Structure 1
Amino acid sequence: MKTSAGQPTAALPAEFDSALERFIEHLASERRQARETCRHYQRDVARLGHYLARNGHNDWSRLISSDLRRYVAELSRAGLGGRSIARHLSAIRRFYDYLVRERQVRDNPALDVRAPKAKRRLPGVADVDQMQHLLDASADDPLEVRDRAMFELLYSSGLRLSELVGLNLSSVDQQAGEVRVLGKGSKERVVPVGRKALMALQDWLGVRQSLGPRDEFALFLSRRGDRLSPRSVQLRLSRWGVIKGADQRLYPHLLRHSFASHLLESSGDLRAVQELLGHADIATTQIYTHLDFQHLAKVYDQSHPRARRRSPGNTSRIADE
């Protein structure tokens, strides 16, 4: 019998189950792994055990790398994506490390087996006109003045959410038009702040003292007067989008993605965008070139006379004329 996800619910053969149970006990007692983590390991390794039993294996030591590659192919055919298969392989790799340590197997067959590459999702991006409409909307109370300053800064400087909430009053140099942020890996970088964002920050600093004590160094404060949490920023941005009439769900990384895509579309300078975003690897930044190409392809489809649809019955692009 199988679950709706295609995983067996029958008990494992005793030869497989006893070793797996000892492994889970090892994770829980020696490694102090959380109960949910242990449950995931048990489920993923048990699925491999059922596969081996169906294919005539009677213990864990019979598994070799080629068997495991065939198992990966079966997971893929069952509809699992690259990330899910990588998680399965991670559990199997760790299980066999344990078996090697316990001298129940000679080597780990999962060491050289890799999951198929997961398809990288393109980030969502708001168009320029919508960003203008949302950021030009009026702020009706001190909290909305704060919100607009935050959202202007996210879009103006391409900040991560963690970078935004980590800002202190001393992080912003209004004279130079710069903000100093602490990014991933505690790497510090200085990025420019646009004119509209500086104006919004000035408006916020004018009312900030009404929310917080003088000895609070955080740039953005909650209603209680302490540093604003990441979750609060997410909720306030979502609320702002609903109130101001956004045509898509707003979240902090959408503003960062929009910053990068709009800047790359205008400048074409991938290295500069990489520096501004604080990416260690330019390959991370290159995803925005795909977004830019999608925009160009859309313009082409709508504008080029040789790309227009000939008739309702022919919906394909005329690519070879």
Structure 2
Amino acid sequence: MYLNHFVSHCKIEKKLSEKTIEAYTSDLKQFRKYIREEFDIHDFRLIQREHIKKHLVHINKYAPRTVKRKIATLKVFYSHLLYEDCISENPFDKIRINIRVQKSLPSVLSLNEVAAILKKLQSQKLGALKTSMRYRQIVRDIAIVELLFATGIRVSELCFLKRSNIHSDFSTIKILGKGNKERIIPITNGETINALEDYYRLFQEKINQNSFFFINRLNHRISEQSVRHLIKKISQESGIKRGITPHVFRHTFATQLLEANINIRYIQELLGHSSVNITQIYTHVSHQRTSEILKLNHPRNLISHN
């Protein structure tokens, strides 16, 4: 009962993403299973500090990032129970938890890699019959890749984008991001605008019936998984050996703006980050790439040791 109520709260009131809700549900079901099997407790309200401490030992086998997420889920859940007066005190109070997660720099694409992906898609478009479903799909895929790179939006934001949130001349898009925060992102590149216009011309009738901008062959909203599969497939076909996801385009967008000396606060606004501290990770990527460029191209390398 409490789990279902919490999930409904996350969906309806907090409007969290499907991915977040799935993670919350999975973590809480795992926690419930452990508590039932280990202590024969079937009511979340009866769980005490010592039960949670033993659960923390139990999940310590996972990677630190996963453990941190599972703990965060439980904290949010018990804060909700306390707020709803289902419990009189939070069992997480006075439990000290310090989990160090090694920060990894986000993966980014080089401009040559982005160009290779777009070139491959254009090649596939030229090779497809214009009246075929395959041609229509490629035109859609080009629009997706162009928009991901041009705006740095999250894959969920792309999939839930509606025609009504796109300016009539495709010069801006309005995004409803995390925490129901709206942001306007300009689209200034002519190739990106052309790709969106080409896609809309082909799918206009279906889009207007559906309301979502990017649709699948069944004329439903395209799923996040479909976009991930598309990006993985076209990246491999373009000769990129490492794993590429839609989020890599977001990282690339932010890093390229930093390298162009765009103010980090403006990048924060474009990405929809709640804090500039989150955006700061890209400064490390930018500095790392600057070092690599200098190492290869510094003029001191041209001076001999004779």
Q: Per the shorter chain, which TM-score range?
A: 0.5 to 0.7
Q: Find runs of 4+ consecutive structure 1 residues off by over 4 angstroms.
A: 26-36, 41-47, 85-94, 106-110, 304-308
Q: Counterpart of 1:281?
A: 275
Is residue 27–residue 38 contact of structure 1 (8 Å, CA) maintained in 2?
no
Q: Deviations over 1:276-302 (max 9, x none)?
A: 111110001000001011112222333
1:204 matched to 2:199: yes
Alpha-carbon separation, structure 2, partners of 1:107 and 1:224: 47
Alpha-carbon separation, structure 1, partners of 2:6 and 2:183: 37
Q: Counterpart of 1:302?
A: 296
Alpha-carbon separation, structure 2, partners of 1:109 and 1:251: 36
1:216 matched to 2:199: no
Alpha-carbon separation, structure 1, partners of 2:221 and 2:72: 40
Q: CA RMSD in A?
A: 4.3
Q: Residue type of the partner of 1:144?
A: I
Q: Counterpart of 2:225?
A: 231
Q: Residue type of the partner of 2:99?
A: P
Mapping of residues 1-321 of structure 1, within 5 Å: 37=28, 39-40=30-31, 81=64, 83-84=66-67, 87=70, 111-137=94-120, 138=122, 139=125, 140=128, 141-175=135-169, 177-193=171-187, 194-209=189-204, 212=206, 214-304=208-298
- Structure 1: gaps spanning 5 or more residues: 1-25, 48-60, 309-321
Is residue 85–residue 115 contact of structure 1 (8 Å, CA) maintained in 2?
no
Cα 1:119–1:110 shift into 2, 3 Å: farther
Q: Residue type of the partner of 1:220?
A: F
Q: Counterpart of 2:20?
A: none
Alpha-carbon separation, structure 1, partners of 2:288 and 2:230: 30
Q: Which of the pair is proportionally richer in helix? A: 2
Larger-Rg structure: 1
Is residue 28–residue 74 contact of structure 2 (8 Å, CA) maintained in 1?
no
Is residue 207–residue 213 contact of structure 2 (8 Å, CA) maintained in 1?
no
Is residue 168–residue 217 contact of structure 1 (8 Å, CA) maintained in 2?
yes
Aligned pair count reads: 258
Q: Residue type of the partner of 1:282?
A: V
Q: Residue type of the partner of 2:216?
A: S
Q: What secondary structure sits across from 2:260 in the alignment?
A: helix
Aligned-residue sequence identity (percent) comes to: 25
Q: Deviations over 1:211-256 (max 9, x none)?
A: x375222111110112111111111222222233333322110111
Q: Deviations over 1:257-277 (max 9, x none)?
A: 111111111124111111111
Q: Deviations over 1:176-221 (max 9, x none)?
A: 71111111111111101122210111111121147x3752221111
Cα 1:253–1:213 shift into 2, 3 Å: closer
Alpha-carbon separation, structure 2, partners of 1:45 and 1:303: 62
Is residue 49–residue 92 contact of structure 2 (8 Å, CA) maintained in 1?
no
Length-normalised TM-score, structure 1? 0.65
- Structure 2: gaps spanning 5 or more residues: 8-23, 39-47, 129-134
Q: Deviations over 1:71-99 (max 9, x none)?
A: x99x99x99636526746987997xx99x
Q: What secondary structure sits across from 2:244 in the alignment?
A: coil
Alpha-carbon separation, structure 1, partners of 2:49 and 2:222: 55
Q: Residue type of the partner of 1:299?
A: I
Alpha-carbon separation, structure 2, partners of 1:279 and 1:29: 29
Alpha-carbon separation, structure 2, partners of 1:273 and 1:303: 28
Q: Deviations over 1:118-148 (max 9, x none)?
A: 2222211111111122123312411010011
Q: Residue type of the partner of 1:196?
A: E
Task: Report 1 or 2 for greater relative contact order, CA contacts < 8 Å, sequence distance ≥ 6.
Answer: 2
Length-normalised TM-score, structure 2? 0.67
Q: What is the CA distance between 1:110 and its match in structure 2?
A: 5.6
Is residue 167–residue 218 contact of structure 1 (8 Å, CA) maintained in 2?
yes
Cα 1:268–1:81 shift into 2, 3 Å: same
